Amino acid sequence: MAETVPARSEIAREHTWNAESVFQSPEAWKDAYDRMMETLPELEHFKGRLGDDAQTLVEWLAVSEAYLERVGHVFFYGIMSQSVDSSDSAAAAMATQANGLLSNLLAVTAFSNPEMLSIGRQTLSTWMDEEPRLQKYAHFFDDLFRTQAHVRSADVEEVLGLASDTLFSIDNTAEVLANADIQFAPAVGSGGESYEVTQGSLQRLYGSPDREVRRSAWESYSDGYLAFQNTFASNLTVSFKRDVFLARARRYPSTLEASLFQNNIPPEVFRNLIDTFRRNLPTWHRYWAIRRRALGVESLHPYDVWAPLTTTQIDAPYAQAVEWVCEGMQPLGEEYVAALRRGCLEERWVDVYPTKGKRQGAFSFGWRGTHPFIMMNYNDNLQSVSTLAHELGHSMHSYLTWRHQPMTYASVSLFVAEVASNFNQALVRGYLLRANDNPQFQIAVLEEALTNFHRYFFIMPSLARFELEMHERVERGEGVTAESMNALMADLLEEGYGGEVTGERDRIGITWAQFGHLYANYYVYQYATGIAAAHALAVPILAGEPGAAESYLRFLKAGGSLYPLDALALAGVDMTSPEPVEKAFATLARYVDRLEQLTNRERESAR
């Protein structure tokens, strides 16, 4: 074959994640796993005692936090090891054990929330006055009592905790099927050369200037999923049924409300997003038409969405990407930039390049006490620069949260996490547009921007509409099949294409199977709200507004110590209003306008 994806053993150590900083070896991981499994029952010594006095309660909170941190390291190491090589059976076994350990921790500690609720809000308030060490848990207690109606008895909570490993294992099944078992046919270029299609190489093939490479890669990828459509549909249906079961077990009226309630998000935020998205679809229709004219094709196909609009390829090796990201993030100050640079170039936060068996896409993941690691498939182009900036937004959010918050507030909801990631992209993009006024470079940066908006402000809202409808069908007891899923997805995408994009219904319909995000209850809509809030916050910082950067850094450091909407209000944006989503569409429209001007000028100069 003309081009293959390297084996993991062929990648230089400095471009792999710093696994040894978490555990020196898989054997050391196994020792830690065994110790945690042996000592978990010790937590039951607190069972029935949390209401004794303030000192017992604060001791429990400290001990349980310490256990969660140590278990988290074991969990993270197993999951990350499998993600970078899903064909490694030893790593797959670690991931399975890691999930089981976390499930056991949830079961063993299931008594705690019911017992703390039984203490009563008034008594807890008195104890916080008497015991200063309890005061940092004020938000935790407030959230606990907010959710009181949905906390079940200790026995029921224990069963739900024990069941979590089984209930969520279907996610792993889908990941293994997608990343290890599907064998995609090679893509073939216009000259007959072939290219290996994998989860890691896909975006690079989609960005090829050779339309035959793009077409054959897209068809190969779609057909790979279509060959297993019934299995994927069965998997996802079980996931939807799990969501319905858990919502009903905790006495929520719907899966949507169950999901949003966890982060104290009113359903109107979700509805506002969908309504605003549908109102602004003409902006997307206009973009498709401009892209078709710029490419000079009679009809635009889904595989043309990523086609380069310039003949100049922007070469962006990893080291260059790190420098561009650091320059773009300068408005947040030297401390932020120094930590980011050190993580990328010295501490090996990033598992950089595509390898055989590596899962698709990119993510930031770690645990308090580890580095905020990144798994990605870097391809030396502007799109990869953008992805690196995005994931570094997540990682720096984690880094600052872990430095300023206890374990109880060490994680943040996706609702705010996706703000940090898209914010970094907005600042880096702004820097690149200012730094180089060459029309070809400007077009390339705008293409990256519109590709990013396509994923987060077109695909993700479309998937959110798909997810809502499928959940509601399951809630009503209706039958769900691969064919019905494909038909719904195709209808939604065709509405978004507005007749400007031509695609075979089966191949665009299988899009739902290509996003493991759907296995997390109402996950995808938060990408769209995230990109909206991110651009609302980036504008004043890019304009140099006094205090804006400091407010944003306070938001990052707050971690989970505030409700998501309150944390964003601290930074300066109100997500209960449709206004940020409308403003993000206005930003999208400006990008489309500028792209049209530049591509028209390029076509005229070529005549």
pLDDT tens-digit series, residues 403-428: 999 999 999 998 999 999 999 999 99
Residues β-bridged to residue 3: 195
Say whether 158 is catalytic.
no
User: What pLDDT, in 10s, does the model give residues 311-360?
Assistant: 888 899 999 999 999 999 999 999 999 999 999 999 999 999 999 888 87
- Residue 607 pLDDT greater than 70, yes or no: no
pLDDT band for position 173 (cuts 50, 70, 90): confident
458-480: average pLDDT:
96
- On whether the pTM is more than 0.95, the answer is no
| 30: region left, alpha or beta (phi > 0 left; psi from -120 to 50 alpha) | alpha
SS3 368: strand
77-86, 145-154, 324-333, 575-584: range with lowest mean pLDDT: 145-154
Task: Give me the DSSP letters along 535-557.
Answer: HHHHHHHHTT-TTHHHHHHHHHH
Secondary-structure breakdown of the chain: helix, strand, coil percentages, each rounded to the nearest 5: 70, 5, 25
85-89, 108-112, 333-337, 344-348: range with lowest mean pLDDT: 85-89
Residue 1 has a pLDDT of 41
Residue 316 has a pLDDT of 95
> Is the separation of the CB atoms in 274 and 464 below 8 Å?
yes
266-290: average pLDDT:
96
87-94: average pLDDT:
90
Alpha helices in 252-410 (DSSP H): 255-262, 267-279, 281-295, 318-328, 334-345, 382-404
User: What pLDDT, in 10s, does the model give residues 147-162?
Assistant: 888 888 888 888 888 8
CB atoms closer than 10 angstroms to residue 130: 11
Angle (CA) 457 460 466, round 5°: 130
What separation in angstroms does the CA of 111 have from each of 43, 185, 389?
10, 51, 41
| 94: region left, alpha or beta (phi > 0 left; psi from -120 to 50 alpha) | alpha
SS3 174: helix
- Residue 225 pLDDT greater than 70, yes or no: yes
pLDDT band for position 603 (cuts 50, 70, 90): confident
Instruction: Give the whole-angstrom CA distance, residue 568 versus residue 537.
Output: 9
- Residue 236 pLDDT greater than 60, yes or no: yes
Instruction: Give the whole-angstrom CA distance, residue 273 versus residue 532.
Output: 10
Of the chain, the percentage scoring pLDDT greater than 70 comes to 99
> Is the separation of the CB atoms in 97 and 78 below 8 Å?
yes
User: What pLDDT, in 10s, does the model give residues 542-554?
Assistant: 999 999 999 999 9
- Residue 448 pLDDT greater than 80, yes or no: yes
112-121: average pLDDT:
94
Q: How many helices (H) and strands (E) does the chain have?
A: 25, 5
User: Tokens 């499930």 label which residue?
Assistant: 103
296-322: average pLDDT:
93
Of the chain, the percentage scoring pLDDT greater than 90 comes to 84
Average pLDDT, the chain: 93
CB atoms closer than 10 angstroms to residue 152: 16
- Residue 185 pLDDT greater than 70, yes or no: yes
Please identify which of the residues 219, 391, 448, 475 carries the catalytic annotation.
391
Residue 3 has a pLDDT of 57
Residue 606 has a pLDDT of 67
37-41, 359-363, 493-497: range with lowest mean pLDDT: 359-363
Alpha helices in 405-514 (DSSP H): 414-435, 439-454, 460-475, 482-497, 505-509
Are β-strands 350-351 and 373-375 bridged in parallel, bridged antiparallel, or unpaired? parallel
Domains along the sequence of the chain with CATH: 8-169 (1.20.140.70)
Residue 401 has a pLDDT of 98
Are β-strands 373-375 and 363-365 bridged in parallel, bridged antiparallel, or unpaired? antiparallel
- Residue 4 pLDDT greater than 80, yes or no: no
446-452: average pLDDT:
93
Instruction: Give the whole-angstrom CA distance, residue 224 versus residue 601.
Output: 40
> Is the separation of the CB atoms in 175 and 513 below 8 Å?
no
